[in-house]
Amino acid sequence: MNASRMQMDPTASRVIGSQDLILFYLETNTNQSTFSIGYQRISSAGARLWTDNGILYAPLDSRQELNLSSFAWGDGAVAVFAQYLAGSAVNSDLEAIRVDGNGANVWPTSPVILCSVPSVKQRMAAAQNAFGQVIATWPDGRIDPSWDIYLQNINPDGSLGDFTVNAPQELTALVNGSDIVLTWRAVDDATSYNVYASPEPGNFTEVVATATDTTATLVGESLSHDIRFYTVTAVR
């Protein structure tokens, strides 16, 4: 990492289908007067893959970022965070960035603004659902000084709000030696698919593979578990 600056508050997610980690972190100069967000991919052997210094999403400036969270998406990750507005250490907006497995921006507009209303926002919390949406929620003082709770969805394509993609149909699973091969019917407008596995039907939280076409091979899966249930979701 850049030894002439400070890196703080790291958040990590494991790359889907890999043992690598993608880290996002707050980066600041030694005087803590200019700020940005950096990110770095760490291999399973501990090597830094995106240069020794990592990558900054934007040059350091006086607008401080805070409340950073990150989640695995596709072959990369997404980060959501608050950033103070210019000239203020009270009012902030909320933003998100998504990078691919090489550290490049995925969305044509980056960062995406989740909430542009200038207001006092308390510590944001975020989570990811089975469709790949990241849902951010935060206490907001724009109307009630005793705080209201607001939330916003950000979708895999960088759009906000509702996200509707038909679930893949005709999912089949075949045993091929020690592997399990899943196939399904294509979904219009889907850019990729997330494969979930669970020992219980209807309790799908673990993404075990991603695919860009309509098949996925789970290597060694038939030997690893007694009973396993699968589902597939489409990502737009």
pLDDT of 95-150, one tens digit each? 999 999 999 999 999 999 999 999 999 989 999 886 678 999 999 999 998 999 99
pLDDT at residue 157 in the model: 84
Q: Scanning the structure block, which residue is given the tokens 């699973």?
A: 173
Tell me: the pLDDT tens digits for 169-211? 999 999 998 899 999 999 887 888 989 888 877 677 778 898 9
Rounded CA-CA distance 144/186 in Å is 47
pLDDT at residue 80 in the model: 97
Tell me: the pLDDT tens digits for 31-70? 999 999 999 999 999 999 999 999 999 999 999 999 999 9
pLDDT at residue 111 in the model: 96
| Dihedral sign computed on CA atoms, order 45, 74, 83, 12 | negative
Q: Scanning the structure block, which residue is given the tokens 């707050």?
A: 26
pLDDT at residue 48 in the model: 96
Is the predicted pLDDT of residue 164 greater than 70, yes or no?
A: no
Distances 131 to 26, 32, 89, 115, 205 between C-alpha atoms, Å: 28, 38, 35, 21, 10
CB burial class (10 A; 0-12, 13-18, 19+) of residue 202? exposed
Count the Cβ atoms, other than its own, within 10 Å of residue 127.
Answer: 11
pLDDT at residue 227 in the model: 80
Distance of CA 175 to the CA centre of its chain: 32
| Confidence band, pLDDT 50/70/90 cuts, at residue 165 | low
- Spell out the alpha helix ranges (H) of the chain: 221-224
Q: Which helix (H) or strand (E) holds 222?
A: helix 221-224
> Shortest CA distance to 235 belongs to which of 135, 159, 137?
159
pLDDT at residue 1 in the model: 82
pLDDT at residue 61 in the model: 96
The C-alpha angle 104, 81, 109, rounded to 5 degrees, equals 40
